[in-house]
Amino acid sequence: MGKKRTIKSKNKIHNSEKINREAGALFFVLAAFLSAYAFIVPYKSGIIGKAFYSVMFNIFGASAYILPFIFLWQFILHIKQSVELKGRLDFIWSFLCMVCASVSFEAVHFMFKAKIEGGWIGDTLYPFLKELVDAWLGLALITVVTLILFSKILRLSIIRILRSFFGGLKEDLSKSNNGKNGLQKPSEQLFQQSFSDDIFTREPAKPNIVNRFDEEEKKKQEASAKVSPIKQESIDSKTFKYNLPPTDLLKNDDTSSFAANKNELLKRAGRLRTILSDFGINAEVKDIIPGPVVTRYDLVLAPGIRIQTVSNIIDNISLAMRTASIRVVPIPEKAVVGIEVPNPVSVIVGLRGILESASFEKSKSLLTLALGKTTDGAGYVTNLSSMPHLLIAGATGSGKSVGIHTIILSILYKARPDEVKLMLVDPKRVEMSIYRDIPHLYNPCANAANADIITNPREAAAALKKLVAVMEERYTKFAKVMVRNIKDYNNKMTEIGGEKEFYIVVIIDELADLMLVVQKEIEDSIQRLAQMARAVGIHLILATQRPSVNVITGIIKANFPARLSFQTTSKVDSRVILDMLGADSLMGKGDMLFLPPGAARPVRLQGAFVSLKEAEKIISFINDQKFPRLYESISVEVEGKGGFDADKEKGNKDLIPALKLINSRRRISQDLLKANFGGSARATNILSILETEGFISKPQGTNKWQVNFDKISKYLEANNI
């Protein structure tokens, strides 16, 4: 109840902030109109308008004309929900701007005999400025200060504007100089892949620096020039008009600035070649591929040098490069060995840049996932329906929860609520609470109006068991119309005008907690769903921070070919999740290895970061459309096919025999119930009912059951036993 109140209070605060912005926008647009009206036609603005006109011009002079524009700009800032408001700072900057403008107008009035005046402020401060510095210097100084204040009000960075201007000027001059010098010198040509006798003895050639960001921008511009953007077609737009969230709700991607100084990259490449030669390894750095977090140096090894020789001195390379978490990766398609070195300063990868990429926009799959960016800065987009299930693991603080948020938001940016449903299981109760009110939620044990995030382990076991029944019901439905999968079924429903099926994505945030309480039920349901649910549009995403063999069993691993591993605490955990080493040497904070189905080696990615404020903006945009929370009544049709209610009814029949057993043995344990009633699942269910009814309890911090023998005796006496 306390958490629901907290969520409601957050929603109230968000709604109140939205109302305050709208009220402020209304105030500023009225203030802009009234002040402009009073300044332009003061004789028609009444007594108050004439007084306002007289006071403002007596105080500020001609700079009073700036006031309506300031009001209008504040109206624009309040209308744009993504802009952060700075009320007090905006007021101070606006006031100082008008003061400086008054002094400037007064200086122009005295120096050039112009008709504009600066009012009382200009008449008072200009003599002081004139005595302090020279008149011309004072005019230049006060003009610069006025421009700086204007940039503060307009949210502009003068330094960035000047930097881009002089940077472009420098590039133009360098291009013109290169054109005059003619062709490039032969010694500066790229390193050739063919070997010769003196390839490792001559002066090393400069490595090629590959800037993936420039290539992506060129491709994006060419694609936008040739092809108009593809609009996502909805499955069913007859009942409700729904708009997908816009990308401007997210912050701009800042990975365009990841490319380090070229001289610095060449210097680090030379240091890498030196440390390798010190250990007797002859190699050439062919390419340098800078990324937002990691820079990869592609090495061409001399004949007879093994890759394991480089891997054995990885600690020495880390020491020489003054960094940690160096990773050696063979790249067969280029016949090189890549050494991934963390950058001195990393750049946060934003989700917006990946969502606006051509690969994500052109993807027609409703289950398109924007995972992050590769080591060379290219956005990485994959499809959940082709996996068909995903297994995620990572230590605490490695970025696993942020990665789950990125996956959920990717689906929300691609699919309508009647196209994809999300069954969210959050035993920790805090990670997914922000998605509580979205219309995409699904729970097979509840109707659409009551669908919520599942936090209780036994409720999660019941929901997964019911989802198995939903899967079987869909197979029966597909068999009647003779189709093989959900895509063919929806296409057939489009032809005959029937009702289509929606995809169901099950996301479990902490599998280890569920396996600790109800392992048998969870494992059985996950096994059946992982083996058969793909064809009917049900996909699983399981995440855990403890990838041990007790949690990720062999049965689960066999049905989850797609793996996503963040930083792990040991090499054993890396082998469990990826069947290879590598995850233990990651850097954390979103650094991950993604193993696609059928791939021989994983892809290193830097996960996209999404803040809580950005996620709340997207959820508010979705909830404001008030999409009806409806889905098919298939959960009602399969209500009697086993599940939580049937287990509870069976456990109630065992209640009195269990109480008699406890009263006679004067103790309680799962092994005792298992020996007398048979089966661990039945014993677990009896323990749950005994705890719910208050006959037993487990104090916090202990692992022993405490039995309320007095209550048991009274209950048995009341039932004449």
Distance in angstroms (rounded) separating the CA atoms of residues 138 and 132: 8
- 486 vs 345, residue with greater confidence: 486
In CATH terms, the fold of domain 644-718 is: Arc Repressor Mutant, subunit A (1.10.10)
Distance in angstroms (rounded) separating the CA atoms of residues 478 and 489: 7
- Degrees (nearest 5) of the Cα angle 377, 382, 384? 155
User: For residue 316, with 0-12 CB atoms within 10 Å meaning exposed, 13-18 middle and 19 or more buried, which class applies?
Assistant: middle
- 197 vs 693, residue with greater confidence: 693
Q: Of 104-118, 218-232, 275-289, 497-511, which range is least confident?
A: 218-232
Q: How many other C-beta atoms are found inside a 10 Å radius of the C-beta of residue 266? A: 15
pLDDT tens-digit series, residues 136-184: 887 888 888 888 887 777 777 777 677 667 766 666 666 565 554 444 4
Give me the helix-helix angle, 87-112 and 66-79, nearest 10°.
Answer: 160
End-to-end CA distance of the chain: 38
Question: CA nearest 659: which of 643, 677, 647?
Answer: 677
Q: Compute CA distances 151 → 60, 155, 161, 174, 615, whole Å.
A: 20, 6, 11, 31, 29
Are 347 and 323 within 8 A, CB to CB?
no
Distance in angstroms (rounded) separating the CA atoms of residues 447 and 139: 72
User: Does residue 67 surpass a pLDDT of 80?
Assistant: yes
Q: If you average pLDDT over residues 369-380, what whole number do you get?
A: 88
Q: Residue 168's pLDDT is what?
A: 65
Phi and psi dihedrals of 347, rounded to 5?
Answer: -115, 135
Q: Residue 652's pLDDT is what?
A: 57
Q: Residue 468's pLDDT is what?
A: 93
User: For residue 486, with 0-12 CB atoms within 10 Å meaning exposed, 13-18 middle and 19 or more buried, which class applies?
Assistant: buried
Q: Compute CA distances 54 → 42, 61, 104, 154, whole Å.
A: 9, 10, 20, 28
CATH architecture of 390-637: 3-Layer(aba) Sandwich (3.40)
User: Does residue 367 surpass a pLDDT of 90?
Assistant: yes
Mean per-residue pLDDT over the chain, rounded? 80
Q: Which amino acid is at 158?
A: I
Q: Residue 504's pLDDT is what?
A: 94
User: Does residue 488 surpass a pLDDT of 60?
Assistant: yes
Taking only Cα atoms into account, the Rg of the chain, rounded to an integer number of angstroms, comes to: 34
pLDDT tens-digit series, residues 515-558: 888 888 888 899 899 989 999 999 999 999 888 887 887 778 88
Are 392 and 433 within 8 A, CB to CB?
no
Question: Domain spanning 259-342: which CATH class is it, in words?
Answer: alpha beta
DSSP for 584-605 reads GG--STTEEEEE-TT-SS-EEE
Q: If you average pLDDT over residues 618-638, what whole number do you get?
A: 73
Query: Quick one: how far is CA 109 from the chain centroid?
Result: 56
Query: Quick one: how far is CA 86 from the chain centroid?
Result: 26
Q: Which amino acid is at 134?
A: D
Name the band, by pLDDT with cuts 50, 70 and 90, for residue 3: very low
Distance in angstroms (rounded) separating the CA atoms of residues 423 and 431: 14
Q: If you average pLDDT over residues 244-254, what whole number do you get?
A: 85
Q: Which residues is 284 bridged to in the sheet? A: 300
Upstream peptide bond of 699 is cis (omega within 30 degrees of 0): no
pLDDT tens-digit series, residues 299-353: 999 888 888 899 889 888 888 888 878 888 888 888 899 999 988 888 888 899 8
Task: Give the residue extent of every domain in the chain.
Answer: 17-158, 259-342, 390-637, 644-718
Q: If you average pLDDT over residues 473-489, what whole number do you get?
A: 92
User: Cβ neighbours of residue 190 under 8 Å, at least 6 residues apart?
Assistant: 205, 208
Are 39 and 64 within 8 A, CB to CB?
yes
* Percent of all residues in the chain with a pLDDT value above 70, rounded to a whole number: 81
DSSP for 158-211 reads HHHHHHHHHHHHHHHHHHHHHHHH-SPPGGGSPPPSS--TTTTTSPPPPPEE--
Are 610 and 409 within 8 A, CB to CB?
yes
